[in-house]
Amino acid sequence: ETGVTQSPTHLIKTRGQQVTLRCSSQSGHNTVSWYQQALGQGPQFIFQYYREEENGRGNFPPRFSGLQFPNYSSELNVNALELDDSALYLCASSLAGTVSSYNSPLHFGNGTRLTVT
C-alpha cells in the first residue's frame, strides 16, 4: 500500500510569484484535502476534491486553487504569493462515497514547506 506523497519537500519563492504543489493520494483513496499549517499552529482546511471537483472550501482567497486528476492525484496552486503564505502545506487522502467510508480517516503526507521571501 503506497502512502500519500507530496512534492517538492521544500520550496522558496518570492512575493508575487506563483507556486504549484503536488500530491499523490494513497492507493484506493478517491478524496484529497489540502491544509495549511503555519509555524506553531494546527493545520487549517483549504479545500477538498472529490471526483475531480472542489467539494468544500475553507476561508482561503480565490488565489488558492486546485485540481484533482482522474488518478486522484491533486495539485494546489497559489497565485500572487504573500509573505504570510509561508507555511507547511499538507495533503491528506481518504475514501468517500460509500456507507462504509463515512468515517474514513485522513492519511496525511509529510507536506511541502513553502517559504516566501
Q: Give contact residues for another protein (rule: CB under 8 A).
A: 4, 31, 33, 35, 40-45, 48, 55-56, 58, 90, 92, 94, 96, 103, 105-111
Segment holding 111, helix H or strand E: none
User: Which of 65-72's residues contact partners 24+ apart within 8 Å by CB, and which partners?
Assistant: 66/34, 68/32, 72/25, 72/29, 72/30, 72/31, 72/32
Residue found under cell 512534492: 7
Of 14 and 98, which has the nearer Cβ to another protein? 98
Of 38 and 80, which has the nearer Cβ to another protein? 38
- Work out how close the CB of 45 gets to another protein at its nearest, in angstroms, rounded to a whole number: 4
For 1, which DSSP code?
A: -
- Work out how close the CB of 105 gets to another protein at its nearest, in angstroms, rounded to a whole number: 5
Of 46 and 78, which has the nearer Cβ to another protein? 46
Of 55 and 86, which has the nearer Cβ to another protein? 55
Report the SS3 class of residue 10: strand
